[in-house]
Amino acid sequence: MAKVMIMMGSKSDMEIMEKAQELLSSYNIESRIEVASAHRNPERVHKIAQEVEESYDVVIAGAGMAAHLAGVMASLVTKPVIGVPINASLNGLDSLLSVSQMPPGIPVATVAINGSKNAAILAMEIISLYNSSVKESLQSLRADFNK
């Protein structure tokens, strides 16, 4: 079964990040939400990264301001990481730059500011490469866009 870890740096990001979980759940894709700051509780981030490496397919990580959560997760796991910049200050531009400007060797896919739904769709696209059930769900989702 496909599994996606959804992370955020602060509980204040919950309203945005829950949208990713809602979309995934509507297509029967298991997900779990965790709040863990790359700056305030790095040990917790490391522990979650170990779980991701063992049991998850994709990580969606949202954070605002100095948005290092996605990059830290990408440095700790070999799974695809999708970063969601959160508009916490500076209209989210600071977060967008933090998430998208990764050093060589540590890629993070980046979606629009507050774009957790697109992150969920991108996670589905990644998983659909090897999971025919998720591919069918993705095709259904795309068909719904054209209605």
pLDDT digits (tens, 9 = 90+) for 15-67: 999 999 999 999 999 999 999 999 999 999 999 999 999 999 999 999 988 88
- Read off the pLDDT of residues 84-124 as tens digits, 9 standing for 90 and up: 999 998 999 999 999 999 999 999 999 999 999 999 999 99
The whole-number pLDDT of residue 123 equals: 98
3-140 domain in CATH 3.30.420.40? Answer: no
Q: Which residues contact 120 (CB under 8 A, 6 or more apart)?
A: 4, 19, 20, 21, 23, 24, 60
Domain boundaries, the chain: 3-140
The whole-number pLDDT of residue 58 equals: 98
CA–chain centroid gap for 53, Å, is 14
The whole-number pLDDT of residue 1 equals: 86
